[in-house]
Structure 1
């Protein structure tokens, strides 16, 4: 029996768009002729997987079907949530659909993760399939590349059969604590799960009987049309809104970890998105998108819906104007040099791979006091992303009107 992949595709991704009501959900953002959902659909085409199941909601149904068609996936099932109830009801309802056998191995993916070295990832899934039973849950840990406070962590101990049992979860620690966790060989909690259908049922029966009872009804009363289950709203909204982590993982003792040392990100912040563009910038650079200025130059790497990615090159002793923007905020990732940043009344020096957020209407400037060039990858986020949205206060090159 092949592994059934389940893609959780209901998230709104509001963290990236704090000031926008009409933002795109992260999994559908075009980053340059590719999306995170598209990458996930390609990932589940591996020979170890059966046809995918996608859990989403009515708002995203059209986009999900467009992606399935674009990636030539003809066999699939969609489970449509009638209301937002977080990941616990979503995971359970998807597992309960009738064409999944009781002992079926289910691999739960998030639609918005970027994973490289997929062959290593898939081998680790296959290798652990025989360790699944009707109670346990395997989660995926990623070896940290930095003491990030954006991810949760977990610690493990080795038990018989070379299995890593999870002993403790640490929820998004501050950087100092994250360093201590990494020293103890802690791993990032990726939020992906591998378990059997009967394990899901048994854990929900034991720890979340209300969610279980209402999800059973929501699936039993669901309407089925065009490969899509429309869950019953009256029953589903009675299921308690909880994440799978809080509902199950914090209660059950039978959690094991699959540890991976592969490039992974959920692109959950503009800092992570900027790192991704910096790593792959040669794919995006075009000569016609290079613009020269008295302080150096900038290159437009990619323009998406309400965002623009640039690389700034500030020559030695170069200084941009003191300025603000009415219609956009900016996220900067320093990739080379030690620029002096002015942000409203504060000034500070930034090092490579440090991140700075420039809010809407904030007065700001970049200055390169050194003898080597400064490079910054910038995301402009807002309704107007043109040079016309620059209000200059001071400029050493005489550009203040």
Structure 2
């Protein structure tokens, strides 16, 4: 039995302003009509696998659950990390969880934010790798390099284990240009993809040999954990004590059982805007565009328009990205410096690196339309059957105006319906709740007024999503 383990943690900043701390790239539709996470899960179709286990940050749990619901995936588990501890502990939690009922499956460890063009080839290579994994090998997938890349780590192959797999000689950190050229010419080196396949027991045995401290901490965190709705929660206090390390450093570079199997399937980790341009569909002038774009005398650019018309004239080799609250313009040769923009935003005490103007919640989404001194305007969309928590605020009052649908409102000791073009008022300190009892989305305008309007001015008394 193969159990896919999807690593969906991380809050990367290299694809800002689309990727944000609370909405990173694995949850974005960057190359198609589905998100990278959804594409990763769909890529498993055709493989003989059990239901996948998805590992994500606590803050992303409802995003993962919603994206699974959208593709109608049944039986998937969602394991929550209270803090990020890199890949070695995360995979340890997955392996321990997979062995809880006395089973010892083969784990297929995949990143949720990778792109693979040739999915049939990917599945063929996975099936070949599973044979090595059944023999006790710790298999990593090495990407056949197409050029001398300095942004990836490399894996040097040794003697052949089989027609497709090789012994790992060594792992190499990101090289300089000269070494990358030499690796490409030798034919013995692959890019390190960060994808793996091994029996759960084989990984746990190696971890017990090389990093027993990580294994012990993960055992304790999982044993003291609990099931929470659709989520598997580990004990936060125990997991915080776990050392931080990658699977490469903790296990793969130390074990004698490491094997590498080459993968030549149009892989990309989409680690920068230029990488997204490389895999995109280009027009006759080499431009990759999405949204309302007007490109005149423009060549070899990536132009992404989320909400407005973006027009370019007489430019080359640029990345232009527009969202509701930010615009990025960067030369393709400088895309690795986008993270410096995020660092500057953090330093200035701004919030554009944390979330978009539209913020997703388990009950729906809200869009912060306007804000000023002592007031804020939001457009709120509540999914059919969903309900916000029973709550109150110490510092703000709220006016709700229903635009479409029907709202079931609890305001103090009264519960009543508010329909289109009707409104209600929630005073400061009043316990209240909002619910959509209907069959269509509920949309309303919320006007907040008061001395403090932060999201942390919420006292929850009851919440169907476990946030109280």
Q: Give the match's secondary structure for 2:147.
A: coil
Residue 184 of structure 2 corresponds to 182
Q: CA deviation at 1:14?
A: 2.2
Q: CA deviation at 1:329?
A: 4.3
Q: CA deviation at 1:172?
A: 0.9
Normalising by structure 2, we get a TM-score of 0.63
Deviations 1:316-342 (A, max 9, x none): xxxxxxxxxxx7542334xxxxxxxxx
Q: CA deviation at 1:284?
A: 5.2
Cα separation, 2, equivalents of 1:49 and 1:188: 26
Deviations 1:51-110 (A, max 9, x none): 110001210001101110111102111111111111111010111115565431110000
Cα separation, 2, equivalents of 1:127 and 1:136: 12
Deviations 1:166-193 (A, max 9, x none): 1021111112210111112111110000
Cα separation, 1, equivalents of 2:290 and 2:157: 43
Does 1:211 find its partner at 2:210? no
Higher relative contact order (CA 8 A, sep 6+): 1
With over 3 angstroms needed to count, the CA separation of the structure-2 counterparts of 1:59 and 1:194, relative to structure 1, is: same
Unaligned residue ranges in structure 1 (runs of 5+): 316-326, 334-354, 361-380, 385-401
Q: CA deviation at 1:121?
A: 1.1
Cα separation, 2, equivalents of 1:187 and 1:297: 32
Q: CA deviation at 1:204?
A: 0.9
Residue 289 of structure 1 corresponds to 293
Does 1:125 find its partner at 2:126? yes
With over 3 angstroms needed to count, the CA separation of the structure-2 counterparts of 1:189 and 1:358, relative to structure 1, is: closer
Does structure 2 retain, via aligned residues, the 8 Å contact 1:300–1:309? Answer: no
With over 3 angstroms needed to count, the CA separation of the structure-2 counterparts of 1:47 and 1:262, relative to structure 1, is: closer
Does 1:53 find its partner at 2:53? yes
Does structure 2 retain, via aligned residues, the 8 Å contact 1:82–1:233? Answer: yes
* Structure 1, 83-92 or 133-142: larger mean CA deviation: 133-142
Cα separation, 2, equivalents of 1:241 and 1:308: 44
Does structure 2 retain, via aligned residues, the 8 Å contact 1:54–1:77? Answer: yes
Q: CA deviation at 1:135?
A: 4.5
Q: Give the match's secondary structure for 1:146.
A: coil
Residue 168 of structure 1 corresponds to 170
2:245 to 231, 236, 242: 242
Cα separation, 2, equivalents of 1:173 and 1:123: 30
Does 1:27 find its partner at 2:26? yes
Does 1:230 find its partner at 2:233? yes
Cα separation, 2, equivalents of 1:284 and 1:15: 19
Cα separation, 1, equivalents of 2:302 and 2:216: 53
Residue 87 of structure 2 corresponds to 87
Residue 160 of structure 2 corresponds to 159
Q: CA deviation at 1:132?
A: 2.0
Does structure 1 retain, via aligned residues, the 8 Å contact 2:287–2:301? Answer: no
With over 3 angstroms needed to count, the CA separation of the structure-2 counterparts of 1:63 and 1:177, relative to structure 1, is: same
Cα separation, 2, equivalents of 1:202 and 1:359: 40
Cα separation, 2, equivalents of 1:279 and 1:296: 12
Q: Give the match's secondary structure for 1:154.
A: strand
Q: Give the match's secondary structure for 1:130.
A: helix
Normalising by structure 1, we get a TM-score of 0.72
Q: Give the match's secondary structure for 1:216.
A: helix
With over 3 angstroms needed to count, the CA separation of the structure-2 counterparts of 1:19 and 1:297, relative to structure 1, is: closer
* CA root-mean-square deviation: 3.4
